[in-house]
Amino acid sequence: MDRNPGILATLKLAGRMLARDWRAGELRVLAAALVVAVASVTSVAFFADRVSQALVRDAHQLLGADLVMVSDHSWDPAMRAAIAERGLREAEAWNFISMVRSSAAPQTKDEAPRSQLAGVKAVSAAYPLRGRLRTAPALGAPDAPAAEGPARGTVWIEERLVSALGAPVGTRLRLGRGEFTVAAVLTLEPERSANFFNIAPRLMMHLDDVAATGLVQPGSRVRYYLYAAGGRDALAGFEAWAAKRLARGQRIDTLENGRPNVRASLDRAQRFLGLTALLAAVLAGVAVALGTRRFVERHLDGVAVMRCLGTPQGRLLALFAAEFSILGLAACALGSALGFAAQGVIAGTLADLLRAELPPPTLLPALRGFLVGLVLLLGFALPPLVQLKNVPALRVMRREAGTPKASAAATYAIGLGLLAGLLVWQAGDVQLGLTIVGGFAGAVVLYALVAWAALALLSSGSVARRIGARSPALRYGLANLRRHARSNAIQVASLALGLTAVLLLSFTRNDLVDAWRRAAPPDAPNRFVLGIQRDQLAAVKAFFSERDITVPDLYPMVRGRLTAVNGAAVKSEAYEGERAKRLVERAFNLSYADTLPSHNRLAAGRWWTRDTGDAQELSVEEGIAKTLGWKLGDTLTFTVGSDAFTARVTSLRRLRWDSMKVNFFVMAPPRLLEDYAASFITAFRLPDGHEQAMNALAARFPNLTVVDVGAAVRQAQAVIDQLITAVQFVFLFALGAGVLVLYSALVATEDERRREAALMRVVGASRRHVTGSQRVEFLAMGVLAGALATTGAAVLGQLLARRVFELDLPPSVMLIVVGPLAGVLLLSLNAWLSSRKVLRASPALALREET
């Protein structure tokens, strides 16, 4: 007989072994864990890939295109031709400021002035290439997306221009030499929300009508925009081509300039999705480890027989490795397919919200899924499997001879290391990846230690004697706890881990999602008012309270230019990145306050106090500090008008950009800025139906600028809602993985308990005695696992909320009630099921199965 069979023979036998083990139900949990892990990772990878592309495009909608080019002189027709040549879509717009006059005669003398400076935007028919314009047929009427821009001879104007000019839809307006009809109220313009400060109210018209106004002459201040959209490669090719041909005063706008609030939502959603997938993968790893351990325990005898029948160690290892590899590959393929189907379902249900076809998925996420599956298999199944080759053949004659020592820490070190590497790669963040792996490993060790200590205490001689005096079942139950101290501690730790995940995902998730929604609540401000003068403050406040609108916080704003950092003059060329350059070139809106605004949080340093603080202090937003390389202790010099001041950065603030509240990059104590000329700004929520109040405000204070950001808020909320839906779906996978861990942990000691129960019955213990003692044991473990999991879920939830998502999470009462209860219920159910199994079979059969 040939004793060195080839690879093919090994694979064939491994395949048969797989079929037999599968039939025996030994591998189902393991396979399920792998499938869940791979499905979760791939669905997120597939979907995140496609959604992030779509979201990038959504953000592009804020630009109105995939690529925007801006020039201070008209674009060379060659540039437009180049866009068309590459199969890209092209649109054009001219922006300029002009006086608009209402053709209608004023009705009363108290009426608003009939002429107003407007930001005119003349657009070609194809504008916008991404996103939609939204218009309303009348002031305050619901808006709807517009199929195309204004028709020739008509204009669309913004709410505040309607108010300022007293020009509802249908009115004729004069612009230069031309006269136009107001055809609609413009409620949302993609680019508008990108920078809604410091601009005159919008008037939109057709590009072909500009000539008729005679407003654009040589030397006129006009900004010329060229838009392009289309395939990514063609776009990148064009961008590279165009970048080399830009003249002075021309630039290409990128997504970097997109609104920070959408970027914040996007970042947060990606972290949510990524973390959830990782959680599922780690949990699946635990389930794989538990499942393999059970597999190994159940195969010790069989392996001893195979050794006895002449299987060399190397062959055994090869056989099991091949068996698990086939299983792994099949599970990975199934998981990837499931992941692909899942992302298809998510994408399908979100089609409306995503508003456009998602780009087709690539194969890369599937590859990633396979990698995750194989790492889990290698890291968590291989270590215990390797032990199998060390089972001595002698075990066939002396059972006790052959239980290989399992040194959990050492064997799983490889797995944890691999997984850590994978997580770091997946999270794209070393710290995050290591935090999760470390946190998980730490939690397991901590759980096991606490469980072991608590079980030891509970079953210690004196406690057991005191409690156990009343009933023998109680005494045996407590004795069992002590006897199984190690395996019980491991079981409690695994159970607590699975339960933590389930609790975290079912309770904390809801709280997190609520907190996230609250970050951009439905009552978020929808109007900004700019340009309030100091002497108008009281009158403006009175105006609000007269109309039963909550008087909003008014923030002073001083415009200053950054001239030096740490004494060195600021040169925009010295900064890397378009955004950094733009930021230092622009005037800063500086504000001052005694107290930290309620929607800001201190990230570093300290906030000044009224009495003891140094007057020369500044607090800057964390993100801008990072972009511009500012640190605590740096000194910044700003020029305000003809004066300059220098102050030290003493704190960094973290802002909620998606709160739609007024935020400032740089703030100072009042002492430093209150002597400079300031205007005030506020953001508030205008209740529906109160739109007329804004007309009255504009009429009473003609110098104020009112900006309607309602549509922008709605858009931001739609983005958040669609992301939450996607995240919830992915949670299901993680939840599945958590349930698998729970199941694996519950069945981990089932064999041993059945054997013991059978033995007890053989020696004459009654059913009541057997079930009673098991119940005591399970009850203690359930209380412990429930308490550990509740604490773990609460702590993790807080950590996640604060550190990762930057959200405030109130403690959940439900969690505290349901957590421990779930632990007890789960183990009670398990006790009931397992005692049923034990009692249903005759002790002899139960024992025979074991031998």
Site string for another protein, 339-378 (x = CB under 8 A): ----------------------------------------
Q: Are 776 and 478 in contact (CB under 8 A)?
A: yes
Task: Give the range of 205-213, 311-319, 577-585, 703-711 binding another protein by CB under 8 A.
Answer: 311-319
Residue 357 burial class via C-beta count within 10 angstroms: exposed 0-12, middle 13-18, buried 19 and up: exposed
Binding positions for another protein, 792-851, rule CB under 8 A: 845, 848-849, 851
248 binds another protein (CB under 8 A): no
Question: Residue 838 CB, nearest distance to another protein (Å)?
Answer: 16
The residue within the footprint of another protein, chosen from 77, 218, 314, 689 (CB under 8 A), is 314
Name which of 22 and 832 has its Cβ closer to another protein: 22
Question: Residue 302 CB, nearest distance to another protein (Å)?
Answer: 4
Q: How many whole angstroms separate alpha carbon 427 and alpha carbon 270?
A: 9
Binding positions for another protein, 168-227, rule CB under 8 A: none
Q: Are 84 and 90 in contact (CB under 8 A)?
A: yes
Which residues have a Cβ under 8 Å from the Cβ of 652 and sit 6 or more positions away?
Answer: 602, 603, 604, 605, 619, 620, 621, 622, 625, 632
Binding positions for another protein, 262-281, rule CB under 8 A: none
Question: Residue 429 CB, nearest distance to another protein (Å)?
Answer: 44
394 binds another protein (CB under 8 A): yes
The residue within the footprint of another protein, chosen from 3, 248, 466, 840 (CB under 8 A), is 3
Question: Residue 23 CB, nearest distance to another protein (Å)?
Answer: 7
The residue within the footprint of another protein, chosen from 21, 189, 253, 511 (CB under 8 A), is 21
Element (H, E) at 708: strand 705-708
- Amino acid identity of residue 411, one-letter, is T
Q: Are 549 and 697 in contact (CB under 8 A)?
A: no
The residue within the footprint of another protein, chosen from 1, 147, 538, 568 (CB under 8 A), is 1
Question: Residue 393 CB, nearest distance to another protein (Å)?
Answer: 5
762 binds another protein (CB under 8 A): no
Name which of 16 and 836 has its Cβ closer to another protein: 16
Name which of 2 and 352 has its Cβ closer to another protein: 2
Q: Are 212 and 152 in contact (CB under 8 A)?
A: no
Name which of 237 and 392 has its Cβ closer to another protein: 392
Task: Give the range of 12-20, 196-204, 376-384, 685-693 binding another protein by CB under 8 A.
Answer: 12-20
Question: Residue 394 CB, nearest distance to another protein (Å)?
Answer: 4
Q: How many whole angstroms separate alpha carbon 8 and alpha carbon 12?
A: 6
Name which of 301 and 622 has its Cβ closer to another protein: 301
Name which of 391 and 530 has its Cβ closer to another protein: 391
152 binds another protein (CB under 8 A): no
Name which of 78 and 309 has its Cβ closer to another protein: 309
The residue within the footprint of another protein, chosen from 106, 142, 214, 312 (CB under 8 A), is 312
DSSP result, 626-684: HHHT--TT-EEEEEETTEEEEEEEEEEEEE-GGG-S---SEEE-HHHHTTS--EEEEEE
The residue within the footprint of another protein, chosen from 364, 397, 409, 814 (CB under 8 A), is 397
Question: Residue 807 CB, nearest distance to another protein (Å)?
Answer: 50
311 binds another protein (CB under 8 A): yes
400 binds another protein (CB under 8 A): no
Task: Give the range of 305-313, 341-349, 483-491, 704-712 binding another protein by CB under 8 A.
Answer: 305-313
Which residues have a Cβ under 8 Å from the Cβ of 268 and sit 6 or more positions away?
Answer: 516, 723, 805, 806
292 binds another protein (CB under 8 A): no
Name which of 5 and 359 has its Cβ closer to another protein: 5
Residue 677 token pair: 């000329």
301 binds another protein (CB under 8 A): yes
13 binds another protein (CB under 8 A): yes
The residue within the footprint of another protein, chosen from 39, 354, 396, 580 (CB under 8 A), is 396
Q: How many whole angstroms separate alpha carbon 839 and alpha carbon 758?
A: 8
Name which of 130 and 315 has its Cβ closer to another protein: 315
Task: Give the range of 144-152, 309-317, 500-508, 642-650 binding another protein by CB under 8 A.
Answer: 309-317
Computed from CA positions of residues 196, 202, 206, 209, in that sequence, does the dihedral angle turn out positive or negative? Answer: negative
The residue within the footprint of another protein, chosen from 106, 145, 302, 521 (CB under 8 A), is 302
752 binds another protein (CB under 8 A): no
Gyration radius (Cα) of the chain, Å = 34
3-state SS, residue 569: strand
23 binds another protein (CB under 8 A): yes
Which residues have a Cβ under 8 Å from the Cβ of 5 and sit 6 or more positions away?
Answer: 13, 315
CB-hemisphere CA count at 13 Å for 574?
9
Task: Give the range of 193-201, 281-289, 306-314, 642-650 binding another protein by CB under 8 A.
Answer: 306-314
Q: What angle do CA 715, 718, 721 make, to 5 degrees?
A: 155
Task: Give the range of 205-213, 215-223, 396-404, 819-827 binding another protein by CB under 8 A.
Answer: 396-404
The residue within the footprint of another protein, chosen from 125, 308, 334, 759 (CB under 8 A), is 308
Name which of 26 and 239 has its Cβ closer to another protein: 26
479 binds another protein (CB under 8 A): no
DSSP-assigned letter for residue 184: E
Q: How many whole angstroms separate alpha carbon 93 and alpha carbon 149?
A: 11
Of 189, 129, 112, 130, the residue nearest 155 (C-alpha): 189
2 binds another protein (CB under 8 A): yes
Give the strand pairing for 568-569 and 144-146. unpaired
Q: How many whole angstroms separate alpha carbon 111 and alpha carbon 314?
A: 95
Strand ranges (DSSP E) for 73-160? 89-102, 115-123, 133-136, 144-146, 154-158
3-state SS, residue 761: helix
Site string for another protein, 84-123 (x = CB under 8 A): ----------------------------------------
Residue 497 token pair: 């881990």
The residue within the footprint of another protein, chosen from 195, 313, 431, 703 (CB under 8 A), is 313
| Paired residues of 619 in beta bridges | 651, 667
Q: Are 100 and 173 in contact (CB under 8 A)?
A: yes
Residue 209 token pair: 């009508």
Name which of 17 and 620 has its Cβ closer to another protein: 17
Task: Give the range of 16-24, 235-243, 455-463, 658-666 binding another protein by CB under 8 A.
Answer: 16-24
Computed from CA positions of residues 219, 222, 223, 229, in that sequence, does the dihedral angle turn out positive or negative? Answer: negative
The residue within the footprint of another protein, chosen from 44, 282, 304, 673 (CB under 8 A), is 304
Question: Residue 758 CB, nearest distance to another protein (Å)?
Answer: 14
Q: Are 537 and 554 in contact (CB under 8 A)?
A: yes
Angle between helices 750-762 and 767-799 (to 10 degrees): 160
Question: Residue 750 CB, nearest distance to another protein (Å)?
Answer: 15
392 binds another protein (CB under 8 A): yes
| Paired residues of 96 in beta bridges | 120
Of 234, 268, 235, 231, the residue nearest 254 (C-alpha): 235
Q: How many whole angstroms separate alpha carbon 282 and alpha carbon 734?
A: 9
- List Cα–Cα distances, 525 to 138, 158, 683, in angstroms: 22, 18, 6
The residue within the footprint of another protein, chosen from 134, 294, 315, 754 (CB under 8 A), is 315
CB atoms within 10 A of CB 612: 6
309 binds another protein (CB under 8 A): yes
Which residues have a Cβ under 8 Å from the Cβ of 218 and sit 6 or more positions away?
Answer: none
Q: Which residues bind another protein (CB under 8 A)?
A: 1-3, 5-6, 9-10, 13, 16, 20-21, 23-24, 26, 301-302, 304-315, 392-394, 396-398, 845, 848-849, 851
